[in-house]
Amino acid sequence: MIQSDEVDDIIAAAHAAADAARGAILPYFRLSSLDVDDKHAPGAQSEGTFDPVTAADRAAEQAMRAVLARLRPADAILGEEFGEAGGTSGLTWVLDPIDGTRGFLAGTPTWGVLMAVCGPEGPIYGVIDQPYIGERFEGGLGRARLTGPAGQRSLAARGARPLAEATVMTTFPAVGTPAEGAAFARIADAARTVRYGYDCYAYALLALGLIDLVIEAGLKPYDICAPIAVIEAAGGIVTDWRGGPAHHGGRIVAAANAAQHRAALEILSQVA
C-alpha cells in the first residue's frame, strides 16, 4: 500500500510527532502535584480499577495530532484520548500519548509514547519513545533501531532458549481474569526471571534482545500496535493467546523467537 517515495515522508512525520509529544509531556513529569482524572471509575483507588489520565496525556496527543494534520492530512487517526478522525489514504495512525500513566505518576521512566502506522492488515511501522531517557525505538519500513543517549544500535530479538532460562514480563501481577492470571502464573513458575510493571518499555526490551516474553491481557489497539511493528522488525513474534493477529488488542503474547512463542501458547491457548 505504501509507495517507496512515501516511506521517508511517513518516517519523518512519525519523528516530528514523537518530538512534539516529548515537548508536551516533559514539563509535567515528576511534578510534585499533578491533577489526575480517573477514566474508569471516579474516586477508585485500587490498581485494578484506577485508569488515570492527566493533562500530559491530553497535551501529548493533541501535539501529535497537530503534526499529523499538517504533514499527513489524508491519513486517519485513532488516539486513546480523543478517539477517531477519518482519512482517505487507507492508513491510520494509532496513538497512545502515555502508555503507562500509573508509572508516569509514580515518577518511573518506564512509560512511553506509542505511535503506529497501520494498514488494513495491521501495523506497518511503529515507534516506542521514552522522552525522559531520550530513547526512541522504531521498527518497520526497513528500520529496526534504537536511537538514544548512547547513540544508535540495531534491534534484534533474542535467539531460542528453554522457558526455564527465559525472562518474562507483564504489567500487572494479576494479568487479567483469574483464569488468565492462572495461565500466566504457570509460565512464570517455569521461567527463570519474572518482572512486573514495565508497561510499553517491556516490549522495547524484547526488541532490544534483553528479554524473552511479554504476556498481557485486556489491551486496546493503541496499547499494542506500535510494539507489534517494533518487535516484528526486530525478528520477534506478537500474537493473541491462540496465535492469531494481535493488533485489535485483547490477550497478547510477544515472544523473542518461535520456540518461546510455542512454549507460551501451549499454556495460554488453553484459556477459554
Instruction: With 0.75 as the threshold, say if the pTM is over it.
Output: yes
The band of 46, judged by pLDDT with boundaries at 50, 70 and 90, is very low
**Between helices 178-190 and 258-268, what is the axis angle to 10°?**
140
**More confident: 172 or 265:** 265
pLDDT 10s digits, 199-254: 999 999 999 999 999 999 999 999 999 999 999 999 999 999 999 999 999 999 99
What pLDDT is attached to residue 41?
42
The reported pLDDT for the residue numbered 4 is 80
- Is the pLDDT assigned to residue 44 strictly greater than 60? no
Region of 114 please: left (phi>0), alpha (psi -120 to 50) or beta.
beta
93 strand-pairing partners: 77, 117
pLDDT bin (cut points 50, 70, 90) of residue 66 is: very high
| Per-residue pLDDT reduced to its tens digit, 97-138 | 999 999 999 999 999 999 999 999 999 999 999 999 999 999
Whether pLDDT at 179 is above 60: yes
User: Average pLDDT for residues 42-56, to the nearest whole number?
Assistant: 61
The reported pLDDT for the residue numbered 48 is 54
